[in-house]
């Protein structure tokens, strides 16, 4: 039952794959994107480089977004760390502050939690984009193989005995 639920969720994500970029959303059906129309193999071959380039670019944009979100999180943590040390020094000058206590306080800060969630989502997006990029590399190999098979079939059907 759990496996079926996960499979259903994955299929839903793949048929309604949403990419966000610069406050815009683009929705794709990944099964349609990756499918090959053997009857229009020449069209598929000519469109493949563009599709690969698109998903490769989306992958690099997702990596860039992740780097920015990780940087934002590091800055927020550093700022919170400084604020905590300063306020604790002012309020409790004679009490030693441990790294663990400061880290726990930072980890429970609402803004830090939100930025951490954003980093996790950005990592997921990078994973999806990397998978799509790899899938289009596989699609290219499939197209090459299909083309070779079709050529062999054509050549074999033209042989006279």
Q: What sections of the chain are H helices per DSSP? A: 2-15, 30-34, 41-91, 99-107, 110-158
**What pLDDT, in 10s, does the model give residues 10-38?**
666 666 777 777 788 878 888 888 888 88
pLDDT computed for residue 89 by the predictor: 87
CA quadruple 130, 134, 135, 136: dihedral, nearest 10: 110
pLDDT computed for residue 17 by the predictor: 73
Report the length, in residues, of the chain: 161
**What pLDDT, in 10s, does the model give residues 84-137?**
999 988 888 888 888 998 999 999 999 999 999 999 999 998 998 898 899 999
Decide if 84 contacts 105 (C-beta within 8 A).
Answer: yes
Lowest mean pLDDT among 50-54, 55-59, 155-159: 155-159
Instruction: Please give the average per-residue pLDDT across 36-64, as a whole number.
Output: 90
pLDDT computed for residue 150 by the predictor: 83
| Ranges assigned E (strand) in the chain | 17-21, 24-28
State pTM to two decimals.
0.75
pLDDT computed for residue 81 by the predictor: 95
Domain segments of the chain: what residues?
66-138
pLDDT computed for residue 157 by the predictor: 75
Confidence of residue 5 (pLDDT cuts 50, 70, 90): low
Helix (H) or strand (E) holding 39: none
């Amino acid at each position: 039952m759990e496996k079926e639920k996960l499979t259903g969720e994955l299929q839903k994500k793949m048929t309604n794959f949403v990419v966000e970029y610069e406050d815009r959303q683009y929705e794709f059906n990944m099964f349609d994107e990756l499918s090959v129309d053997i009857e229009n193999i020449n069209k598929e071959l000519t469109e493949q480089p563009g599709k690969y380039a698109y998903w490769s670019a989306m992958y690099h944009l997702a990596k860039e977004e992740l780097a920015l979100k990780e940087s934002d999180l590091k800055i927020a943590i550093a700022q919170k760390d400084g604020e905590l040390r300063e306020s604790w020094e002012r309020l409790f000058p004679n009490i030693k502050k441990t790294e663990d206590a400061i880290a726990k306080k930072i980890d429970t800060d609402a803004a830090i939690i939100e930025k951490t969630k954003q980093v996790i989502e950005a990592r997921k997006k990078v994973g999806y984009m990397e998978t799509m990029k790899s899938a289009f590399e596989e699609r290219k190999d499939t197209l090459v193989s299909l083309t070779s098979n079709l050529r062999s079939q054509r050549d074999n059907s033209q042989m006279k005995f």
